Structure 1
């Protein structure tokens, strides 16, 4: 009997489960080798577009130096009229390694998933919560002049 490929919804559930545990290798393995992540509102120092599973793996793992993942909740998954596109909303809870402060941030991801792999993701995050916790809020908002 042939093995059925996981659906976009299956991969979304795997993504959220791995994210909530900080399982960075598992997370990276869910992406296609040439996948693209866009972060339209990327904070300073974070690329607004990146490509490649191994690039993501290195970026995910570099976050381990800054924080420890403590779980995710308030999860909503929305299927779209396109069976390859799923929208996931969730709150990710982390603890900063240096200060021990708990940081929670809301995320929205629009993922295109084909043949059991994430091909493209557009990620929206609560960058203010992270900048505030890391003492970088002023850097995020700049001097206020336009």
Structure 2
């Protein structure tokens, strides 16, 4: 692990980076060959990204779409695999285009190698996402 941080500590770092809206820094937490999966992504949105560059391209406009203002809860736990942690976390914020509230809960499974994210799988509610956006997909 990086700087002797546990997988749970590294997930906390990734959440802090996300909340700071620094998508470049978040992508830099990833291994060059990271695999990111969103199994419940709405139609028209990617369900799988491969590589740090693809992750950054996907995330870079996120702060212009949704202003995540607070992580309201974050239960982060290590697993039997010391390189893997699970996070159950929630955020509040607003959609910038329409002012709608954005309240979302996530279940995230993250695996690290040498302190970098190598696999990231995130589950969230696409119906709540689309409702916040006003029925549009991105």
Same topology, TM > 0.5: yes
User: For residues 84-123 of structure 1, what are the structure 2 equivalents within 5 Å?
Assistant: 84-123=83-122
Contact 1:21-1:71 within 8 A present in 2 as well: no
For these two proteins, the number of residue pairs brought into alignment is 136
TM-score by length of 1: 0.85
Contact 2:40-2:125 within 8 A present in 1 as well: no
Contact 1:36-1:51 within 8 A present in 2 as well: yes
Q: Structure 2: how far apart are the matches of 1:127 and 1:11?
A: 26
SS in 2 for 1:47: coil
Q: Structure 2: how far apart are the matches of 1:31 and 1:52?
A: 8
Contact 1:88-1:110 within 8 A present in 2 as well: yes
The Cα offsets for residues 23-54 of structure 1, whole Å up to 9 and x where unpaired, read as 21121111101100111111112111111111
Q: 5+ residue gaps in structure 2?
A: none
Match of 2:8 in 1: 9
Match of 1:142 in 2: none
1:58 aligns with 2:57: yes
Larger Rg: 1
SS in 2 for 1:64: helix
Higher relative contact order (CA 8 A, sep 6+): 2
Runs of 4+ in 1 over 6 A off after TM superposition: none
TM-score by length of 2: 0.89
SS in 1 for 2:108: strand
